[in-house]
Structure formats: C-alpha cells, structure tokens
C-alpha cells in the first residue's frame, strides 16, 4: 500500500511533510534482473510528475535495455511535443557518452566510467534532473574505477530535490549504508535454469 505508517517516528526536528519530501537515494542490488527493470518502472512515475529523467548506463552491450530506451525516448518526444510528463535524457557509456568528444570505440573502460561519473556529479551540483538512473553503476565501483567514498559524498550532499537510483550486483557496503531504500532482487526460479535462453521483448 502506498501510504503505510512509518515504523518509527524519528526525533530529527523535521515535520512529517519535510521528512516525506526528502529526495530518495535508492539501491537495487542482488542477482536477479528486476534491478534495472524496477528502476525504469520508478522512472515512469518520475516522468509522470513532469520531472526531468536522466538515465546513465554503465554497460557495454548496444542491445541491452533497448526496449526501455525506446519507450523512454518515445515518452521524452511526447514531452517535447505536447508538454506531457517530463523531459528524458538517455546516455550510454557503451557507445561513448553523448556529451563526450571521444569515440565509442575507446577501449579504456575505466576512463569512460570515470568520465560518466564526473558528468553525473556536475549534473547533481547543477540540479539538472529530478530523477537519475545510474544503471549497472555498481560495477565500476566494484572494480575500483570510481571511488565509492566520492559517490557517497556527492549523492549524500546533493542539493535540492533530486532522486537517485543505482542498480547492479554486489553494491558496496558504504553505498548501502548511505542509501534510503535498498532492495535485493533474489532469484527463486529462472527459465535459464530449465535451459531457456533470453528472448526479445522479455530480456531486453
């Protein structure tokens, strides 16, 4: 239910309204695929509020998430044409970040990932978006390409009302500690266990 009672009422000097309206920092982790899917579902609600949606994909495959990307690009065009919902930006590291001069064939993934994060930090400081999806962002953290402490600092101290969702397996403990909402997607059963491979429209 959308408006459950909180389990505790903290003594933090905030009114219920102030507390309610704090922007959310969420982490979707675990081994199952609902992580990104649920983040894009949340982005639908953000779009409907008229918030600017910024998606940043820290993955390689051009095929990956093509369904969500097309749908969100369609929603973004709808906004541009009719004013309905919010604007949408969708950026992919795999093809080279759209704001970057560098070609997408650059093989220095660590530098690419750091460049992506530097841009997100600039946008957080500038309050560019109302809702950020940092898709598969746990991997550059896990591999040591980007410092977790820097991410925690920038997100914790972000100005204004900006919601941030980070997805990916093996979220670092410091990230989970800093987050307001952490969901773990757990596999109970998957078609691949029964020998079924991924299929178009379902897996991407």
Q: According to CB under 8 A, which residues from 83 to 142 bind a copy of itself?
A: 84-85, 130-131
Antiparallel, parallel or unpaired: β 131-135 and 163-167: parallel
Whether 28 and 35 have beta carbons less than 8 Å apart is answered as yes
Site string for a copy of itself, 17-56 (x = CB under 8 A): --xxxx-x---xxx-xxx-xxxxxxx-xxxxxx-x-----
Does residue 197 belong to the site contacting a copy of itself (CB under 8 A)?
Answer: yes
CB of 164 to a copy of itself, least distance (A): 11
Does residue 10 belong to the site contacting a copy of itself (CB under 8 A)?
Answer: yes
Site string for a copy of itself, 145-184 (x = CB under 8 A): ------------------x------------x--xxxxxx
Q: Which residue, among 128, 37, 47, 112, has the nearest Cα to 83 in the 3D structure? A: 47
CB of 108 to a copy of itself, least distance (A): 21
Give the whole-angstrom CA distance, residue 166 versus residue 52.
Answer: 17
Q: Which residue, among 106, 40, 97, 92, has the nearest Cα to 62 in the 3D structure? A: 92
CB of 26 to a copy of itself, least distance (A): 8
Whether 142 and 136 have beta carbons less than 8 Å apart is answered as no
Give the whole-angstrom CA distance, residue 88 versus residue 10.
Answer: 35
Q: Which is nearer to a copy of itself, 152 or 179 (CB)?
A: 179
Does residue 190 belong to the site contacting a copy of itself (CB under 8 A)?
Answer: yes
């Amino acid at each position: 239910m959308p408006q459950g009672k909180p389990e505790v009422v903290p003594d933090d000097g905030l009114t219920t309204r102030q507390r309610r309206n704090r922007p959310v920092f969420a982490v979707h982790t675990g081994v199952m695929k609902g992580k990104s899917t649920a983040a894009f579902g949340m982005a639908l609600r953000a779009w409907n509020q008229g918030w600017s949606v910024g998606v940043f994909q820290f993955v390689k495959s051009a095929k990956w998430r093509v369904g969500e990307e097309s749908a969100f690009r369609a929603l973004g065009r709808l906004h541009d044409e009719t004013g309905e919902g919010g604007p949408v930006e969708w950026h992919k590291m795999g093809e080279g970040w759209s704001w970057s001069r560098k070609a997408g064939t650059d093989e220095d993934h660590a530098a690419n990932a750091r460049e992506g994060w530097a841009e997100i930090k600039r946008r957080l400081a500038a309050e560019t978006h109302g809702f950020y999806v940092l898709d598969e962002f746990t991997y550059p953290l896990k591999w040591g390409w980007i410092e977790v402490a820097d991410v925690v600092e920038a997100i914790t101290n972000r100005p204004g009302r900006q919601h941030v969702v980070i997805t990916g397996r093996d979220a670092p403990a410091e990230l989970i500690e800093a987050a307001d909402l952490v969901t773990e997607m757990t596999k109970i059963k998957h078609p691949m266990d029964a020998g079924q491979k991924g299929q178009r429209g379902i897996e991407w």
